[in-house]
Amino acid sequence: MKWIFRQFMRFQIYMYRRSGGKRFGHMRGMPILLLTTTGRKTGKQHVTPVMYFRDGNNYVITASYGGLDKQPSWFLNLRANPQVSIEVDGMTESVTAHQANPEEKKRLWALLVKQAPFFEDYQKKTTRDIPIVILESIDGTSPVS
């Protein structure tokens, strides 16, 4: 099953890049970006399709992992190295990632579940607090505008 998931993800990344985000650019009504992190153990680059929404100039992603009780690898990787890159609509931008503080999370979670109520179901499925991650442009401008 894991092999099938990895193959689908590779195909999704390929089609996303080939079409500039027009194909496989949405899932469950949410837009997708490609997040490139550096492996905390290997130092290798890893690309992961992740649902996002905008908050001003920032991109916001959620480490929900479908409500599983462990954190997704990409989240652990960006905690170890917050300098990551994103691809959105055929453009690539270097960004800095940080986990939302409790005040930010409360506000952003409300925005998220308004757009995608299924995240509430994910939170109910797990005992962990699902992190929200804010992606900010390194140079202070709007990433991938």
pLDDT digits (tens, 9 = 90+) for 55-105: 999 999 999 988 888 999 999 999 999 999 999 988 999 999 999 999 999
pTM, to two decimals: 0.86
pLDDT tier, 25 (very low <50, low <70, confident <90, very high otherwise): confident
- Relative orientation angle of helices 102-115 and 118-125, to the nearest 10 degrees: 130
Residue 71 CA to residue 87 CA, distance in Å, equals 22
DSSP-assigned beta bridge partners for residue 95: 84, 137
Query: Which architecture does CATH list for 2-137?
Result: Roll (2.30)
DSSP-assigned beta bridge partners for residue 53: 60
